[in-house]
Structure 1
């Protein structure tokens, strides 16, 4: 099993309303993906409630193989979900590890 963890930092200069709207739209879109991408074993998006922290969004997902993660990364529905953060995203960090 491969665990895929992604953190997103949002732009400081983006408005709070824009960030919140993008965060919720992204969460809804990502959490709808298992119905469209059958090889996702588990997926969830957490929205940081602690304003003192740097990262705003955590995405946690599980796949059978790293190849599944790679297919997920380029899947059109996943790409569309990622675009929901385009205006407010500053950076992204990712770790994929195998159990």
Structure 2
């Protein structure tokens, strides 16, 4: 099994209200991939961070193996969500992948 953790910081230009809307759409889009991507066994998006946090969104996903993670990155459904709900609104992306 492989864990795929992403942390995003939204662009500073958005108001807090707009950031809340963006975060909700990111969560809806990514969690909507559950059951749609071969080898993706679990996907959760956290948007309810404490004020001590220095990121806005966390993706916590699990894959059956590294090949499934690679295939997810190019899967058209995932790319569509990333291109419309994530990338246009994020300034910083950090990633950590590891075996569990």
When the two structures are superposed, what TM-score results if normalisation uses the length of structure 2?
0.88
After superposing the two structures, state which structure 1 stretch, 65-74 or 42-51, moved more.
Answer: 42-51
| 1:93 alignment counterpart | 94
Unpaired stretches in structure 1, ≥5 consecutive residues: none
Q: Residues 9 and 91 of structure 1 are in contact (CA less than 8 Å); yes or no, is this contact kept in structure 2?
A: yes
CA RMSD, 1 decimal: 1.4
Matches within 5 A, 1:9-88: 9-83=9-83, 84-88=85-89
| Equivalent residues, number | 99
When the two structures are superposed, what TM-score results if normalisation uses the length of structure 1?
0.89
Per-residue CA deviation, residues 20-77 of structure 1 (Å, 9 max, x unaligned), is 1111111111111122113111110000332332111010011111111111011111
Unpaired stretches in structure 2, ≥5 consecutive residues: none
Aligned structure 1 segments of 4 or more residues deviating by more than 6 angstroms:
none
